[in-house]
């Protein structure tokens, strides 16, 4: 009996040891995975691959602040800049598909870069799933107050009289503003010299200081310099005038017939996130975007709230991907 007891103890210890090894080697996700019905049960991170204060940043923070208030959960925006947005986008693509990391996508990272660069550290379709279309917003054409022009017509007349003498700034080669500008100039038949900066802020500061003649970017990017009277807005790049700026003509009506290019924010999840979580997240974001106060705040910063389902966001993304590919080909813009 004593021998049998010793054998049983040895067997029990061996089983416990084996179980310990098995548990130690289980992926961390096996313990941290949240049931879709319980999501979210901890803070959700949204990686925004550009600097704070730009149009996409402002729109995302307004929206996600309200989502957090409605759900009682934390939605944290993390600015991870560099590499024309590729660094933050790659980080989102490599994150765990558990519903606790999303990407704040924009034309630059999810439609332009894949068409512009020959090699990227991520695939806009294989590595991501479009989840919800947050907003779209036109860009505005801004010029330095030192430039002797009052209208888009004046600007183009001056540019044609001295080809290549005027310049324009952008937040970087291949950025949304850069390519919208190249498309505008190509269709207008004028030439300007491109001066790329590392982000929207130095580009706008250079414009305010008179170091560049023109910058096209989202309205929030110009808030501080507009208040100081250092730049002048000449037009909006959408097909229709912006309701908050009714006296500002569109590029289409003032210079290039049919011109219609703008920016947007779509939230993407890394591939593999459960569909139930994607649907739930899209529903909460859409609920926030339907509230009058959120609509008012977004329109004040030049954004039109959207919302909708993951399927609608995916369809929008596919169309924008194709459109920006054509813009790049027509503009002739090349990577550095």
Instruction: Encode pLDDT of 133-146 as tens digits.
Output: 999 988 999 999 99
- Gap between the Cα atoms of 268 and 101, Å rounded: 9
- Band of residue 8 on the pLDDT scale cut at 50, 70, 90: very low
Q: How far is CA 105 from CA 110, 188, 234, 310, 319, in A?
A: 6, 29, 28, 14, 15
> For 220-277, how does the pLDDT look when each residue is reduced to its tens digit (9 = 90+)?
788 878 877 889 999 999 989 988 889 999 999 999 999 999 999 999 999 999 999 9
31 conformational bin, left if phi > 0, alpha if psi -120 to 50, beta if neither? alpha
- Gap between the Cα atoms of 154 and 148, Å rounded: 8
Greatest mean pLDDT among 24-38, 158-172, 207-221, 279-293: 279-293
Look up residue 64 and give its two tokens. 């996600």
Name the pTM for this structure.
0.80
Domains along the sequence of the chain with CATH: 41-137+263-331 (3.40.190.150), 138-254 (3.40.190.10)
* Residues 6+ away with beta carbon under 8 Å from 138: 219, 236, 237, 238, 242, 262, 263, 302
- Gap between the Cα atoms of 306 and 295, Å rounded: 10
- Give CA 213 to chain center in angstroms: 26
- Gap between the Cα atoms of 50 and 59, Å rounded: 13
């Amino acid at each position: 009996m004593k021998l049998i007891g010793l054998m049983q103890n040895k067997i029990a210890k061996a089983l416990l040891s084996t179980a310990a090894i098995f548990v130690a080697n289980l992926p961390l996700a096996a313990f941290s995975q949240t049931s879709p019905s319980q999501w979210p049960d901890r803070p959700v991170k949204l990686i925004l691959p550009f600097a704070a204060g730009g149009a996409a940043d402002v729109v995302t923070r307004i929206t996600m602040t309200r989502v957090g208030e409605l759900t009682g959960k934390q939605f944290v925006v993390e600015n991870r800049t560099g590499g024309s947005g590729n660094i933050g986008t790659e980080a989102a693509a490599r994150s765990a598909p558990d519903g606790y990391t999303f990407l704040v996508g924009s034309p630059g990272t999810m439609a332009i870069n894949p068409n512009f660069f020959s090699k990227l550290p991520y695939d806009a379709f294989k590595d991501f799933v479009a989840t919800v279309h947050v907003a779209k917003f036109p860009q505005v054409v801004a010029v330095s107050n030192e430039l002797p022009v009052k209208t888009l017509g004046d600007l183009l007349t001056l540019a044609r009289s001295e080809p290549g003498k005027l310049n324009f700034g952008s937040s970087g080669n291949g950025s949304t503003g850069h390519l919208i500008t190249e498309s505008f100039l190509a269709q207008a038949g004028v030439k300007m010299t491109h001066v790329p900066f590392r982000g929207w802020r130095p580009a706008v500061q250079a414009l305010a200081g008179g170091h560049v003649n023109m910058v096209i970017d989202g309205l929030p990017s110009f808030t501080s310099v507009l208040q100081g009277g250092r730049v002048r807005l000449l037009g909006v790049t959408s097909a229709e005038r912006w309701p908050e700026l009714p006296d500002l003509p569109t590029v289409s009506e003032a210079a290039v017939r049919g011109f219609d290019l703008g920016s947007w924010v779509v939230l993407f999840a890394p591939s593999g996130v459960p569909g139930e979580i994607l649907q739930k997240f899209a529903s909460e974001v859409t609920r926030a975007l339907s509230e009058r106060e959120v609509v008012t705040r977004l329109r004040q910063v030049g954004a039109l709230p959207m919302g909708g389902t993951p399927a609608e966001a995916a369809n929008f993304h596919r169309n924008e991907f194709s459109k920006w590919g054509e813009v790049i080909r027509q503009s002739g813009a090349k990577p550095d």
